[in-house]
C-alpha cells in the first residue's frame, strides 16, 4: 500500500525550486527567475497555469489529481500527497478516495503522468460528454441552475456523434437557444459518480461558443431538471458561481475569466 503525506511535509512556495516550476510554463521564455520571484502577480499566474496542467478528477467538491514531480501543490492547506507502492495499486484509488471524505484534495506526484492517469481510470466506466461556455454580443455568459447549483450546459455524447456536435446540441436542448458557433476547445474535465453499484467517470469536452442570435430568451429543459437558464454579466458571475462545482470554475479560468471566489 502506498503512503499518504500531508502537504505540510512538502516544501512551500518560498522554498520551492522555482526554476523547475517554470520549466513547464509559458512564462519561462519571457521572464527571468528573479523578476518572477519579486512579482506576486506573476507568481500567482504561474501557480494557476501549473495546477491546470494536472489531470484532475472531481468527486463533487473534492478532487484527485495526477501531477508531475515539479507540479506538486504549492501551499495548499487541503492537500494530501499519495505515493503509490506500484502503478497497479492506483486503480483502486478512486474507491479509497470516495471512502475518505475527510480528504479534500489528493495529489499523486509522478514521472509517469499519462500512464498513472490511465491506470487511475482503469476500473471506472467511461462516458463522453460535451458542453459549452457561451457568450452573447453583450459579453454575457449563459449558465443554468440544476440540482441546487449553478452550472454550465453539457450532456452525453450520442453514438456516432462528433463531440463538437454533441456540445452544440446539448446547449441548444438544455437552454432553448440556437445560432451557436464554436470558437475553440477550452479544456476537458473529469468527474465521477456512483450508480448501479459502480463508479462512472464522465469526460466533458468544453468549447467556447458565440451566440449570434438576436434575442436573449431561453427555455430551460425541465425534463433534465434545469430550473433556470440565464444570461449573466461578467461582473455578476461571482454572485452566481459562489454556488457551483470546482470543475465549472476550472472551465471559466481556462477561458481567461478570473473569479477570485
| Burial class of residue 15 (count of CB atoms within 10 Å of its CB; 0-12, 13-18, 19+) | exposed
Reduced to 3 states (helix: H, G, I; strand: E, B; else coil), residue 1 is: coil
What is the count of structural domains for the chain? Answer: 2
Residue range 158-173: average pLDDT? 97
pLDDT in tens, 186-217: 999 999 988 888 889 999 999 999 999 988 89
Q: What is the CA radius of gyration of the chain?
A: 20
36 lies in which domain range? 3-120
pLDDT in tens, 12-28: 222 223 222 322 333 33
Domain check: are 165 and 233 in the same one? yes
Residue range 80-85: average pLDDT? 84
pLDDT in tens, 92-115: 899 889 899 989 889 998 888 888
Look at residue 261 and tell me if it is in a domain.
no
Domain check: are 249 and 156 in the same one? yes
Amino acid at each position: 500500500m502506498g503512503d499518504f503525506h500531508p502537504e505540510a511535509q512538502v516544501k512551500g512556495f518560498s522554498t520551492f525550486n522555482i526554476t523547475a516550476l517554470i520549466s513547464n510554463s509559458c512564462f519561462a521564455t519571457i521572464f527571468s527567475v528573479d523578476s518572477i520571484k519579486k512579482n506576486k502577480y506573476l507568481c500567482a499566474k504561474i501557480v494557476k497555469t501549473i495546477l491546470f496542467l494536472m489531470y484532475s478528477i472531481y468527486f463533487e467538491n473534492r478532487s484527485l489529481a495526477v501531477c508531475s514531480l515539479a507540479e506538486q501543490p504549492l501551499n495548499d492547506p487541503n492537500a494530501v500527497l499519495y505515493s503509490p507502492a506500484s502503478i497497479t495499486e492506483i486503480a483502486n484509488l478512486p474507491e479509497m478516495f470516495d471512502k475518505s471524505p475527510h480528504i479534500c484534495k489528493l495529489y499523486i506526484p509522478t514521472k509517469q503522468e499519462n500512464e498513472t492517469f490511465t491506470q487511475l481510470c482503469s476500473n471506472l466506466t467511461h462516458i463522453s460528454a460535451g458542453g459549452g461556455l457561451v457568450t452573447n454580443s453583450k459579453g454575457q455568459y449563459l449558465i443554468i441552475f440544476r440540482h441546487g447549483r449553478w452550472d454550465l450546459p453539457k450532456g452525453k455524447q450520442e453514438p456516432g456523434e462528433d463531440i463538437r456536435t454533441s456540445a452544440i446540441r446539448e446547449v441548444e436542448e438544455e437552454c432553448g437557444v440556437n445560432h451557436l458557433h464554436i470558437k475553440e476547445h477550452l479544456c476537458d474535465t473529469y468527474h465521477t459518480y456512483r450508480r448501479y453499484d459502480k463508479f462512472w467517470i464522465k469526460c466533458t469536452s468544453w468549447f467556447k461558443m458565440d451566440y449570434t442570435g438576436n434575442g436573449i430568451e431561453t427555455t430551460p429543459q425541465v425534463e433534465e431538471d434545469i430550473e433556470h437558464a440565464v444570461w449573466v454579466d461578467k461582473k455578476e458571475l461571482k454572485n452566481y458561481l459562489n454556488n457551483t462545482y470546482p470543475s465549472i470554475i476550472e472551465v471559466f479560468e481556462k477561458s481567461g475569466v478570473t473569479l477570485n471566489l
